[in-house]
A and B are shown apart, each in its own frame.
Chain A
């Protein structure tokens, strides 16, 4: 039987061991990613958003190490499996990468190889997963690039990434991620490095493509405004823990955890004019946000880490 959740993350723990000591990057992280929806993970830098994404992709690099938990993956195309449990050389990893789950990275400037042509880089993703000819793959790549809005496709496809603007490169990265029609798309702050106007275009593009392809999206960001625009569900993370989970409406309208309240209070535009914008810390005040209380259900499918 197929569940409603494409990913179910349970008790995920990640530790970074360096010479300056041991850091627990993730502690007992639990959340689900509903199928066909956009789930946003929100938090400051260092809260463990990207580490979580890397765990799902099995891209976590040493010194980072998964020390506990499971990530149950329920794709519709193949048998479900636990991403944490499979070995490094398991062929399912390569299927996972780009085939079942793909990722759009923060820096479109550096996420593309500078010495390979754009068409080559996009079609390679197809060649990695399907048994098609190079020409066939190139044709599909061209198709995908057109769908993400690259103009003058015939000349562009032969160009190198350094001849593209930042927004165009991010479109290429998105094309590369979606060309094999993955079930999950992880967007790791895909708009942070872009201009505000370009940001809006890229967001619209991701939203439109999601509506079209109906894949599940994990959208990592620290920008509440973007969350409001794009997400269905929100996971709030802080210091490697999940503090609050709910629908966008629930969390943004009626935050339960003091940290979420602080986060929302620190958004420009959320306060009346002439009132000084508070920092997250002052907004949180004396409330205890560091004690790791387990998530508890508070009805309506909402979960919050409170005593």
Chain B
């Protein structure tokens, strides 16, 4: 939906003379301003890590999404330890295996740690085979847990009702949820620049129609409409087509704010001296648009689009949670939380809400990063102050 404006008190920077400042390119100036937004910088780093891990999910996740550990159904998260219960120290971190009990009153499965079963963590070890991006076969994982006999498992965010590792599924789910965000802003940007550009450059009735369209779209409650559209996606479609369908649906309503901004910039620029000058020396219309007008605001527009990512991620999560978004076997963070429909399930296995934590972190990071980028790329904020 919208933005949180996050400022920080201006931080002291090493003094530079105005002469030195004048030598910097706009990009360098923007980078200097961005660096001063410490939180935005941290958010950027968090997001890079998240995208890297999601991109190489096969390597970072100890298990593949469909792999089931039948001896651990709805098992709680494990602690990674250096010390045994009796105090023995291991240089190699390890986890205790589970012991299963059936509660005599409730017939619920209960897992406890078994200090006899010590599964040390092994890094860059061979585990389940996978196909990275459906292209390369491999079996090296960042870490797995295995003892000398080749037994062991690690579920440090627990398992779900089929015994699948929540941590691994969160990593794979990130690939979908985060990429939807990225694809979504690509589309949003395209639609926003297209409609905003036409409206602002051509003006007249085109402008009026686009304006009206934006008003209509902005006054619609999005979720019910998203629900209607995703529910309309044919049931026989493959998960992959559904994935693209959902992405398109989520972007259909997100471009309005961006289009308004682009329109405004075009309108303002039409009468700027440098544009008139370009027209007077006989530049063609395309040249004026692409060489003179667009570069002066495009970076700001792109960074503003970052602020549309959270809406897309949250939308996907909500729809998948309702069972009408991404469909299994593809997993996304929303799909992972689909089981958590009522508090009985949550109070039995609260760890199935962990994917939600990652949603919150990703969305927060995008919001903060977007703010920082927008301020840094604002062409009207060039002074460096």
Contacts and interface: CB of A to CB of B under 8 A. Distances in A.
Interface of A: 18-21
9 contacts: A18-B10, A19-B10, A19-B11, A19-B12, A19-B13, A20-B12, A20-B13, A20-B15, A21-B15
A21 B15 CA distance: 8
Nearest to A19: B12
Interface string B6-39: 0000111101000000000000000000000000
A28 B155 CA distance: 71
A71 B10 CA distance: 32
Contacts of B12: 19-20
Contacts of A19: 10-13
Contacts of A20: 12-13, 15
**Closest 5 A/B residue pairs (Cβ):** A19-B12, A19-B10, A20-B15, A21-B15, A19-B11
B171 to A, nearest CB: 41
Is the contact region of chain B dominated by helix, strand, or loop, or is it mixed?
A: loop
Contacts of B13: 19-20
A18 B10 CA distance: 9
Contacts of B10: 18-19
Interface residues of B, number: 5
A62 to B, nearest CB: 11
Given A19-B10, A20-B12, 6 more contacts: A18-B10, A19-B11, A19-B13, A20-B13, A20-B15, A21-B15
B15 to A, nearest CB: 6
Nearest to B11: A19
A20 B12 CA distance: 7
Nearest to B10: A19
Nearest to A18: B10
A300 B10 CA distance: 50
A19 B36 CA distance: 12
Interface in B148-203: none
A17 to B, nearest CB: 11
A18 B12 CA distance: 8
Contacts of A18: 10
A45 to B, nearest CB: 17
Among A18, A20, A21, the one with the most B-chain Cβ atoms within 10 Å of its Cβ is A20
Interface in B202-220: none
Nearest to A21: B15
Interface in B281-310: none
B155 to A, nearest CB: 49
Contacts of B15: 20-21
A129 B11 CA distance: 41
A23 to B, nearest CB: 12
Nearest to A20: B15
A19 B8 CA distance: 13
B12 to A, nearest CB: 4
A294 to B, nearest CB: 30
A21 B10 CA distance: 12
Interface string B68-87: 00000000000000000000
Contacts of A21: 15
Nearest to B36: A19
B29 to A, nearest CB: 15
A19 B12 CA distance: 4
A220 to B, nearest CB: 25
Among A18, A19, A21, the one with the most B-chain Cβ atoms within 10 Å of its Cβ is A19
A265 to B, nearest CB: 28
A22 to B, nearest CB: 11
A61 to B, nearest CB: 15
A20 B383 CA distance: 13
Interface string B40-58: 0000000000000000000
B32 to A, nearest CB: 13
A280 B207 CA distance: 52
B33 to A, nearest CB: 13
A155 B383 CA distance: 45
A49 to B, nearest CB: 23
Contacts of B11: 19
A21 to B, nearest CB: 6
A64 to B, nearest CB: 16
A19 B11 CA distance: 6
A20 B18 CA distance: 12
A165 B363 CA distance: 48
A20 B13 CA distance: 7
Interface in B221-244: none
